[in-house]
Chains A and B, each alone.
Chain A
Amino acid sequence: MKHVPVRLGPMALLLTVVSICLSVLGVLTFSTSRADLALSERYAKTVQTRYHLEVQGQEFLETARPGESEVFEDDDMVLTVAVDENGKVSQWTMEKKWTQDNTIDNLWNGN
Chain B
Amino acid sequence: MKKHITAFYLETLALIVAFLGVLLVLSQVFGLARVQSEKAGQITAAVSLAERAAEAVASSGSLEEVQRLLDENGNTAIQDNTLEIQAEDLRASVTWESEGKLVRSHITVDWNGSELYSLETAAREEETP
Chain A residues with CB under 8 Å of chain B are: 2, 4-9, 11-12, 15, 18-19, 22-23, 26-27, 29-30, 32-34, 36-37, 39-41, 43-44, 47-48, 51-52, 54-55, 58-59, 61-62
Residues of B within 8 A of A19 (CB): 18-19, 22
Q: Is B43 an interface residue (CB 8 A)?
A: yes
Q: Mark B33-50, 1 if CB is under 8 A from A, else 0.
A: 110110111011011001
A8 closest partner in B (C-beta): B11
- Residue of B4, B100, B117 near A44 (CB, 8 A) is B117
Q: A54-B121, A55-B120 are in contact. Are A26 and B36 (CB under 8 A)?
A: no
Residues of B within 8 A of A39 (CB): 40
Can you list 17 A-B pairs, Cβ within 8 angstroms, ordered by A? A8-B11, A12-B15, A26-B26, A26-B33, A30-B32, A32-B33, A33-B40, A43-B44, A44-B46, A47-B51, A48-B119, A54-B58, A58-B102, A58-B122, A58-B123, A62-B101, A62-B102
Main secondary structure of the interface of B (DSSP, over half): helix
Beta-carbon contact of A59 and B102 below 8 Å? yes
Beta-carbon contact of B34 and A33 below 8 Å? yes
Residues of B within 8 A of A6 (CB): 7, 10-11
Chain B residues with CB under 8 Å of chain A are: 3-4, 6-7, 10-12, 15, 18-19, 22-23, 26, 29-30, 32-34, 36-37, 39-41, 43-44, 46-47, 50-51, 54, 58, 100-102, 104, 117, 119-124
What's the Cα separation between A7 and B10 when bound, in Å? 11
Beta-carbon contact of A47 and B50 below 8 Å? yes
B36 closest partner in A (C-beta): A33
Residues of B within 8 A of A7 (CB): 11
A34 closest partner in B (C-beta): B36
A27 closest partner in B (C-beta): B29
Q: A22-B26, A40-B43 are in contact. Are A47 and B37 (CB under 8 A)?
A: no
Beta-carbon contact of B3 and A58 below 8 Å? no
Beta-carbon contact of A44 and B47 below 8 Å? yes
- Residue of B37, B47, B119 near A43 (CB, 8 A) is B47
Beta-carbon contact of A37 and B124 below 8 Å? no
What's the Cα separation between A15 and B120 when bound, in Å? 55
CB distance from A36 to the nearest CB of B (A): 4
